[in-house]
Amino acid sequence: MRTVLTIIFSTILVYSSHKITTIPEASGISYCKDTNTLMVANDEGTLYEITPKGEILLKHKLGNYDLEGVVCLKKEVILTIEGGSLLIVNRKSLKIKKLKIRGKGVKFRKKLGIEGIAKIGKLYYLTIQAKKRKKRANILVVKLNSNSADIIDIINHQIIDSAGMEYHNNKLYIVSDKKDKLYIYDYKKNRVLKKVKLDKFAQEGITFDRDNNVYLADDNGAIFKYSKRELKIK
């Protein structure tokens, strides 16, 4: 009973002290450097833009898409669709273009679909949400072309349930909902540099702003904000 009560009170504390806004089934989040705002995707196919304090500036239904990860660029927002596609959204007009991910015989299915996304240089890194088998816990390295997103490499990082990912300070930051952990990952050397224990909630996305704050998307319907110091990361 004491353990159950501890978990309940810990969950209440997380929501009261770190929650900045409510977004149903929040599945991905990305910081927009040019506007100092955050783009949030959800499982219902809706794109949100919010301030660092959680004020909702934009709520736009893109379609019946199971959106997962998101990357905010100056002119576009790139989103992952769990079933194996990317959605490119013009930030000004909100017009969309869908690109199918193809190559290397990769097949997507439920509980083995695309989750997080990060942009490194001209390439995009996409996480596969393997729930159990480490050999399927991969990152797909993808190059965008006019009509498709082509896989050019596959990295097996062995992180179970990699539900969200961000490129920051030359490393990949990967969250696992199943493990309630943040993994700091060296993608060049293919090794985990550090594991950070997170509060218990459904971690689905991660991003960083210019003021050393960390934002986490919670699939149960919230956006949380922490300082780097609180999570003991640089």
Per-domain residue ranges for the chain?
2-231
Cα dist from 197 to 12, 77, 114, whole Å: 18, 29, 23
pLDDT tens for each residue of the chain, 234 residues long: 445 444 444 455 555 689 999 999 999 999 999 999 999 999 999 999 999 999 999 999 999 999 999 999 999 999 999 888 999 999 999 999 999 998 876 777 666 678 999 999 999 999 988 777 677 889 999 999 989 999 999 999 999 889 999 999 999 999 998 889 999 999 999 999 999 999 999 999 999 999 999 999 999 999 999 999 999 998
**pTM value > 0.85:** yes
Residue with tokens 């097996």: 156
Q: What fold, for 2-231?
A: Neuraminidase (2.120.10)
Residue type, 133: R
Contact 184, 171 (CB under 8 A): yes
Residue 83 CB neighbours (<10 A): 15
- Given the DSSP bridges, would you call strands 148-156 and 96-102 parallel, antiparallel or unpaired? parallel
111-123 in b/e form (b: 16+ CB < 10 A) is ebbbbbbbbeeee
